[in-house]
Structure 1
Amino acid sequence: MTRFPHLAALALALIASTAASAQDRPPTPVDVAQPIVRSVTEYNEYTGRFEAAQQVEIRARVSGYVQEIRFKDGEDVKAGDVLIVIDPRPYRANVARAKADKSHAVAMRKLAELEVARGEKLIKSNNIPADELDKRRANLSAATATEEAAQAALTNAELDLEFTEVKAPFDGRLSRKLVDIGTLVSGGSPQSTVLVNIVSRGLAHFWFDAPEADYLHFLRLDNRGERTSARFEVKKVQVRLLDEQEFVHEGYLDFLDNRINEGTGTLRARAVFDEGGELLIPGAFGRLRLPAYGPHEVMLLPDTAILSDQGRKLVYVIGEGNVVGVRMVETGPIAEGMRIVRSGIQPTDKVIVNGGVKVRPGMPVAPNPVDLAASAS
């Protein structure tokens, strides 16, 4: 026999009151809609960065002191414009010396030719031995070789003199100068002094890495004849920048690497864009959209309808008597602002698209039909 009969009676009263209130509680209101069935093209998205189609570190090709700087930092230049002048006086002296050496070599070659010509006349009258003529002919060959070497030295000296004027290799935009007037620069080696950087304008390359799984998926589609590989067909792509919501910049895929990177498990790829002006600047971050499959018919639901349970994707549907049921689904990427649902539901199912977090399977609800077509983008 309980020692506190009044407490037991109070507990029974509370339980009865709670059960009664649960039965009297109205069904939870939820928004319900049927999946939209549309023909869409599925896209894969990748992040990457822009690079100039041409970009060069302009280095000194000869050593010397910087005499002139003929550009302003960040200036646009044309191919052949002189950017920097390295003191040319030592190289002019080298050219003068090389010209003198060539003139001497030419004179020695002409003298050797005369000696050979005289020898050929004298040999006919037996006034010189045959070996003497052979020596004269050998001297002529040596003089000719000396002249050719002198010409090569002159050409090299003239090139060095030409390299004292550092010119833009192509149309583009310069960085800031990396040397000042009076700087001693070294040239003619891989460690030559970097004078300035230049990047091309207009055409822009977008580099990104695609997972190995995506590459294999596309290859399987190509083998089944469902989608032509980018190796055999030009694929149009779109990019959006950091502050853009839509993929407004259009280009095309023009390069796939010939191997998977073993360290990252990705395939390097490049897209080309020939518009964008100042927006598609080298180093800018972007997100690229690549057509992956389609067009084909799919079911679409808003992301608010898709719930997660330990890694599985599910949706709540309305059955007889407006009772909540659950369906496991396989989802795809976003298309037209909604999530692609590949399997698990039928186009005629009534899916809870808003309010699903407040209900559980088996609960009665008050469905409010909504039109998904009006909100699809």
Structure 2
Amino acid sequence: MFKQRIAASAALLPLAALLSAALTACAPSGNAASGPPPLPVVGVAHPASALVGESLDYTGRVEPAQRVEVRSRVAGYLAAIKFRDGQVVKQGDPLFVIDQRPFLAARDRARAGLAQAKARQTLAAAQLQRLTRTQETGASSAEELDRARAEADGAQAAVLMAQAELRNAELELEFSTITAPISGKLSDRRIDVGNYVAGGAAQGAPLTTIVSLSPVRVTVDITEADFQRLRRQPRLPEQVQLQFDGAAAPLRADIDFIDNEASSKSGTVRVRASLPNLDHALLPGYFARVSIAAAEPQPRLTVPDAAIQSEPLRKLVLVVDAEGKVAPRAVQLGGLVGTQRVVLAGLGAQDQVIVSGAQRVKPGERVQLAPAAAGAKPVHGKGA
């Protein structure tokens, strides 16, 4: 029995060897499993060409054409507030009302004083007329006539003074209602009803402020060197281009003022431009990027601004050379034209600039090219 089992095991050995050989033949070889990885794919494009005018770029600030601190001209206790904080008002709209009872009493007193002065004037005029007639017949002396004339002149002066006091009383009554001096947008109130308001510009604190909303002005300070550069042009620019954060498109503003002297502290010249603000979208205090044309438009190369990389001492782009390898290229940059950045030097029209996938590659690495999603004249093909 034991001999039969040994014989059966010996018969199975050739079959196991055949199965092992078959499995070894079907397994992949070690060289095929460790082949080279695929080349990284990047999008490239030739620099686009555009007519670009050289410009001076500064940061400006929006200012109102008019700004007024609303103060009271008369003193008294505040009785009413006629506006909401931040309201847009028209010139002449009532804003504050000071208790008018003292001013009404002063006006009535001035009216009574005027009536009294006119009565005295009438009496003095009648007395002068009688003495004039009697003096002609010798019934009165010249001294009495002179005294009557003086009384009449004094009565007339008293009437004029009473009239002036009445006008002043009526004016103070008018001033007790504080109105908007200009059309614009109000700030918040600086005082509440019941508080005492000091009159006059010297003592009175601002009750609120109001700024005009249309038009608005943008003021920018440019250096002396840049100002001289502008003056060397055939004519000074008449407009500036403004770009605001979140705005879809730049705006144009007309230059309406250039200061007559440079600041001795900063060495800059103040330039101001104005533009309509009919929708009141621009508020005073906004910052704007101001571009002033400094040269006639010339053909320039542009690349997507996203393709620009920054190093501490230079700006660069990554290009793909003739061997299909990534190479850094230092560039000198100009301004923005939409989403395109002007390249003043460092690139040629036939360079293949990496505009997508640059974060996945490094200089000296071979890459595979794909159609670019942005930029002009995309390059197609594969690296060698």
Shorter-chain TM-score above 0.5? yes
CA distance in 2 between counterparts of 1:374 and 1:319 reads: 17
Larger deviation, residues 167-176 vs 29-38: 29-38
Question: Which shifted more, 54-63 or 311-320?
Answer: 311-320
Gaps of 5+ in 2: 1-40, 379-384
- Give yes or no for contact 2:240–2:291 (8 Å, CA) kept in 1: no
1:86 equivalent to 2:98? Answer yes
Give 1:114-263 correspondences, 5 Å limit. 114-221=126-233, 225=234, 228-230=235-237, 233=238, 235-241=239-245, 243-244=246-247, 246-263=248-265
Contact 1:315 1:351 in 2 (8 A): no
> Which digits, 9 at most, give the CA deviation of each residue in 1:4-25, with x for residues without a partner?
xxxxxxxxxxxxxxxxxxxxxx
- C-alpha change, 1:87 and 1:348, in structure 2 (3 Å) is closer
Determine which structure has more spread, i.e. the larger CA radius of gyration. 2
Residue in structure 2 matching 1:285, options 277, 284, 287: 287
Query: Which shifted more, 173-182 or 366-375?
Result: 366-375
SS of the equivalent of 1:294 reads coil
Task: Quote the residue 2:23 is aligned against.
Answer: none
| CA separation of 1:73 and 1:341: change in aligned 2, threshold 3 A | closer
C-alpha distance in 1 between matches for 2:150 and 2:231 = 68
Q: What root-mean-square deviation, in Å, do the aligned CA atoms of Structure 1 and Structure 2 show?
A: 4.1
C-alpha distance in 2, partners of 1:330/1:115? 99
Aligned length: 335
- Which aligned pairs between 1:54-65 and structure 2 lie closer than 5 A? 54-65=66-77
Shift of 1:301: 6.0
Gaps of 5+ in 1: 1-28
Instruction: Write out per-residue CA displacement over residues 63-94 of structure 1, whole angstroms, 9 at most, x where no aligned residue.
Output: 11111222222223333222221111111111
Output aligned runs, 1:296-315, within 5 Å.
Answer: 296-300=298-302
Which segment drifts farther, 328-337 or 133-142? 328-337
CA distance in 1, matches of 2:117, 2:340: 83
Higher mean displacement: 311-320 or 260-269:
311-320
- Deviating more after overlay: 259-268 vs 87-96: 259-268
Matches within 5 A, 1:317-332: 332=334
CA 1:184–1:314: 2 relative to 1, 3 Å: closer
Contact 1:240–1:287 (CA<8 Å) still a contact in 2? yes
Equivalent residue number for residue 269 of structure 1:
271
**Alignment-derived partner of residue 69 in structure 1:** 81
Q: Deviations over 1:246-277 (max 9, x none)?
A: 54333322222222122122222222232363
Work out the CA distance in 2 between the residues paired with 1:35 and 1:157. Answer: 77
